[in-house]
Amino acid sequence: MSLEWFDRVTGELQDHLESICDKYDRAGHMSIDRGAKHPRIEFFVETEDDEREYFCTLFFDPHNEEFYMETFDLELEQTSRTILSDIEDIVDAVHESFHAYLNDDEDIEEEDEYLVMDDEDPTEDDILEEVDVQWTTPEVTAYAHEDEVEVTYQFGIVQETGDGILRRVNRVVTTEDELIEDESSFIFSKEEASTIIAMIASHMDSLEEFDFDRY
């Protein structure tokens, strides 16, 4: 058993690693465990918290004098090996692992950003505040049942686009005298308006009367 091939590769990999990491403007490092039964080279980057994030591990089989990478197949629930025959295969494997690590890192950052935005949970009013609307009608009551249920509509024009906007407010008073408001808006173009009107008119007979019991 000989470690000559292992030592030759580790001697060349540092230069290749610096070249790979410089391409992505990141600093990559490697650590060598030569005393293990199967010596290994681990590649990592250091975070701002001075912690290590490993993105690749190369193993060396002294008996067969070959490098390999291990992956775990979740479906088969077993570990498989990928043999790396020469230095080019080894460099490519490290390069691909580093690239995959960077992609995963970017995906996590984007997901975190999305979660922060999602936590803000913008309301209908927040959305309408971002749209300059000229309301051309007051709130018009479309349906009311005693003092317990009221549905109103309001029509306006989106100033930036000239589109129409319908604002619907559904107000319900609960048995505990608590007022619940459900507000929604629908924006449509002039070209859509005639189609929407025609579709509603042609299906009026199919609609059912307002059922107060559902409240």
Task: Give residue-wise pLDDT tens across range 136-155.
Answer: 888 888 878 777 888 899 99
| CATH number assigned to the domain comprising residue 130 | 3.10.450.700
- Mark whether 68 and 112 lie in a shared domain: yes
State the amino acid at position 213 in one-letter form: D
Query: What is the average pLDDT score of the chain?
Result: 78
| CATH number assigned to the domain comprising residue 41 | 3.90.1150
- Mark whether 148 and 97 lie in a shared domain: no
The CA-to-CA distance between both ends of the chain, in Å, stands at 81
Residue in the structure block whose two tokens are 């002294």: 62
- Mark whether 115 and 197 lie in a shared domain: no
Q: Give the C-alpha separation, 170 to 181, whole Å.
A: 6
- Mark whether 69 and 128 lie in a shared domain: no
Residue in the structure block whose two tokens are 């058993």: 1
> How many domains does the chain divide into?
2
Report yes or no: 60 and 66 within 8 Å, Cβ to Cβ: yes
- Mark whether 111 and 134 lie in a shared domain: no
Task: Give residue-wise pLDDT tens across range 57-74.
Answer: 999 998 888 999 888 766
- Residue 180 belongs to what domain range? 124-214
Beta bridge partners of 170: 151, 182
The residue among 66, 96, 120 that closes a domain is 120
DSSP string, 98-143: HHHHHHHHHHHHHHHHHHHHHHH---HHHHHHTS-EEE-S--EEEE
Report yes or no: 83 and 70 within 8 Å, Cβ to Cβ: no
Least confident range of 20-24, 63-67, 165-169: 20-24
Beta bridge partners of 84: 67
Q: Give the C-alpha separation, 7 to 12, whole Å.
A: 9
Q: What was the pLDDT predicted at 125? A: 52
Q: What was the pLDDT predicted at 83? A: 92
Instruction: State the chain's maximal CA–CA distance in angstroms.
Output: 92
Q: What was the pLDDT predicted at 208? A: 76
